[in-house]
Amino acid sequence: MSQVTEDYKKRVKDLYQKSQIVLTDEELASIDYADFGLNNIEKEALNLILYVNNKRYCAKEMVLLPNQTCPEHLHPNLENGLEGKQETFRCRWGEVYLYVEAEETIDTSKISVTIPESSKEYYTARKEIRLLPGEQYTIDPKIKHWFQAGNEGAVISEFSSPSYDEYDLFTNPSVKRNVRDR
């Protein structure tokens, strides 16, 4: 895992504060700074607070620093017969570009963001959804998706069916997702 510096942590917490979402000291201390084992935390990472994750539902608060990208992945059905995660992203602050797998796509040269150069081949979903504060989009199970913050960063709430992040399938085979004990 990349070294998460105090400066990096401060920038993440500053964005949470800009969103004006009230968070406890305990929640701020529990931020998961996920670099996905790519050692490229400034470009490819996700910073999140898990409010609740049980057998019925999950809620998270996520931060992306300016132009930071959560790598492409999907939520598969699980071996025990559970359907993969369905999730709704709601932009709370900033701007986020969400890309989902779909028949209607746009050419790479026309997307609104810059794909991380070192992993370009692993970003294949091309239907672009731009979310501003108060806007939301729901992603069905088994749909490849990735997302990137705009130039100021973004704070995104996620509401979903139960989350089993350790089973997410990433397009980039180098991704490693170590999930904290819950």
Quick: pLDDT tens for 38-70: 999 999 999 999 999 999 999 999 999 999 999
How high is the pLDDT of residue 94? 98
CATH class name, domain 6-170: mainly beta
How high is the pLDDT of residue 77? 94
Mean pLDDT along residues 77-96 = 94
How high is the pLDDT of residue 82? 85
How high is the pLDDT of residue 107? 72
Q: Model confidence over 126-146: pLDDT tens digits? A: 999 999 999 999 999 999 999
Q: What angle do CA 165, 170, 172 make, to 5 degrees?
A: 145
Alpha carbons 159 and 89: distance in angstroms, whole number = 7
How high is the pLDDT of residue 2? 61
How high is the pLDDT of residue 166? 87
Residue 91 has pLDDT above 70, yes or no: yes
Residue 149 has pLDDT above 60, yes or no: yes
How high is the pLDDT of residue 108? 72
Q: Pairing between strand 87-100 and 145-160?
A: antiparallel
Alpha carbons 151 and 160: distance in angstroms, whole number = 26
CB within 8 Å of 47: residues ≥ 6 apart: 12, 31, 32, 33, 34, 62, 63, 64, 65
Q: Give Cα 162 distance to the centre of its chain.
A: 16
Mean pLDDT along residues 19-48 = 96
- For residue 165, which of 12, 53, 65 has the smallest C-alpha distance? 53
Q: Model confidence over 150-162: pLDDT tens digits? A: 999 999 999 999 9
